[in-house]
Every structure is written in C-alpha cells, then in structure tokens.
Amino acid sequence: MPESLVIVQVYVHVKPDTVEAFRAATLDNARHSVREPGVARFDVVQSVEDPTRFVLLEVYRSPEAQAAHKETAHYQRWRDAVAELMAEPRTSARYVNVFPDHQGW
C-alpha cells in the first residue's frame, strides 16, 4: 500500500456561456477516468452559489497512477476541449487523506 493516496482538488472557473460544454467534456473525462485501475475516485461538483465554478476531486492510489492518468486519451481530450472554456487558468491543491483510510475511497 502506498504511504498516502494522492488527492488533488482542481478548481475551475468557466465562462458563463460555456457551463454546459464544460459539463459535457468533464463528464466524458470522469466516466473514463473512474475505469483507470489507479483511480479511486473522480468526482465532479458544481458550485451552488456560482454555477460557473467547478471542483474536480481526484483520488489516485499512487503517484504513478496520477502520472498514468495524464497519459490517457480521455484526459488529453478533456484538457484540449476545456482550454478555451475557462474564464481564468484552473488551479489545484494536493491533499493526503485523514479520513477515511486508504480502503474507504
């Protein structure tokens, strides 16, 4: 078992008229990503207060799994599709899991 899961939150702010296009591209990415063996979760949530803001909650079982994700066709398709949909560059933050333990994701 790796020392910690690799948890990444990606914060995305899209242009108001691209919300639906972003949702569609991101659903495609998420549905494929959860089938990767090293991906424990790949959740996508949308802000209630500002529907142009999304968070991707990505949980990888190892650093290698995170690197492998970046090499997939679905990630690269998403990255290219959303580039022009964003109102500003996306940001991200890395976390370790406190609860639950590794098996709970």
Positions in the binding site for its own copies (CB under 8 A): 7, 9, 23, 26-27, 30-31, 34, 42-49, 54-55, 57, 93-100, 105
C-beta of 22: minimal distance to its own copies in Å? 9
- For residue 31, count other CB atoms closer than 10 A to its CB: 11
C-beta of 7: minimal distance to its own copies in Å? 5
Backbone dihedral angles phi then psi of residue 23, each to the nearest 5 degrees: -60, -45
Q: Which is closer to its own copies, CB of 47 or CB of 76?
A: 47
Closest to 28 measured CA to CA, from 42, 18, 7: 42
Backbone dihedral angles phi then psi of residue 53, each to the nearest 5 degrees: -115, 130
Q: Which is closer to its own copies, CB of 1 or CB of 99?
A: 99
